[in-house]
Amino acid sequence: MSKDLRIILSGGGTGGHIYPAIAIADEVKRRYPDAKIKFVGAQDKMEMEKVPQAGYEIEGLWISGLQRKLTLKNLMFPFKLMSSISKSRRIIKDFRPDVAVGTGGFASGPLLHVANKQEIPTLLQEQNSFPGITNKILAKRANIICAAYDEVKRFFPQEKVKKTGNPVRQDLLNIDIKREEAQKFFNLDAGKKTVLVLGGSLGARQVNQLIAEHADRLKAEDIQLIWQCGKLYYEEYKTYTEGTVQVHQFLNKMDLAYAAADVIISRAGAGSVSELCIVGKPVIFIPSPNVAEDHQTKNAMAVTKNNAAITMAETELDDKFENTFFDLLKNESKQKELGENIKKMALPNATSSIVDEIEKLIIRKA
């Protein structure tokens, strides 16, 4: 394959779209150190910060999603779209990519639309069990769609879909041997149960309120709690750090947090679900109801239907959480069953499989 390989990646708006794109870029660079890689994102979104931090160039488009009600932003959308398509044409003309890769989010729409028009091979990476509107539109002309869930075959041309899984952190592949290191890192007692609570980088209000309500019982039952409450809520909840409860704004050592946990409570973003399948621990998913097309509930249910996790809607927490959670903590056989079943759903080689598909597109084009 040519040494001057050129790949353009687009996706963003949330970490769920950005981090898979960075993982794909890293694997391309590992295989082809001389490859030229460029990212395209939305000019006011988090990818403009995260991608350069990962060591890659990025150009921003003046694009944003449609709101669900009539707003000034919606009235501006046609102008933003035309501007973004025009800039995408210039970027593609200047960069001359061999392949264009989209990982979802509105920024990938104009870029991959232009790539398709110019007959540049395109690959979509769909993280969720229910695809977003951008990937649904782009799928008609994409060459390959790399998916994490069988459920997406209902929405895409089946002959294009390859089940690869979602790219995940490679340091999660061997957490089984990190248990002792994790207990030392978090200053935990090896003889006590440990619960890990994950609300995402910004945090999740309902999850934090739930844990605050049960913090006294957790302490009373001597259960160790690693509580990642998020940036937005740290000031409010940091005072709960006492005894067996520790509150964190972020968890920089996610591999050790997973390794320390006996039971995990988590949101159900696509990346989190994919990671938790590899981790293989019993999980209670509390999906966020505030995401487009209720993606998180669909992601969680795709696991739960295989008896591989427990899913609870925010509206069920008052009635069901306490009994379900404390029963699970006491039920070793149920923990083992859920952990083993979720592990069966893991696709640990996702990033490598996606780059294999990119290589096939380049060979086919040549």
Instruction: Give SS3 for 296.
Output: helix
Outline where the chain has alpha helix (H): 15-31, 47-53, 72-95, 108-117, 133-138, 179-185, 205-220, 234-237, 254-260, 270-279, 295-304, 317-330, 332-343, 350-365
Residue 205 labelled as part of a binding site: no
Neighbours of 117 (CB within 10 A): 13
Residue 143 labelled as part of a binding site: no
Instruction: Give SS3 for 96.
Output: coil
DSSP secondary-structure letter at 170? G
Residue 352 labelled as part of a binding site: no
Residue 6 labelled as part of a binding site: no
Amino acid at position 84, single letter:
S
CA separation for the pair 25, 6 (Å, rounded): 11
DSSP secondary-structure letter at 242? B
Instruction: Give SS3 for 161.
Output: strand
Residues in Cβ contact with 30 at an 8 Å cutoff, skipping those fewer than 6 apart: none
Residue 16 labelled as part of a binding site: yes
Residues in Cβ contact with 237 at an 8 Å cutoff, skipping those fewer than 6 apart: 208, 212, 227, 229, 247
- Please give the torsion angle defined by the CA atoms of residues 24, 25, 31 and 35, in that order, rounded to the nearest 10 degrees: 150
Instruction: Give SS3 for 36.
Output: strand
Neighbours of 96 (CB within 10 A): 11
The residue written with tokens 């001597």 in the block is 222
Residue 243 labelled as part of a binding site: no
Residue 109 labelled as part of a binding site: no
Annotated binding site for UDP-N-acetyl-alpha-D-glucosamine: 14-16, 128, 169, 201, 296
Annotated binding site: 14-16, 128, 169, 201, 296
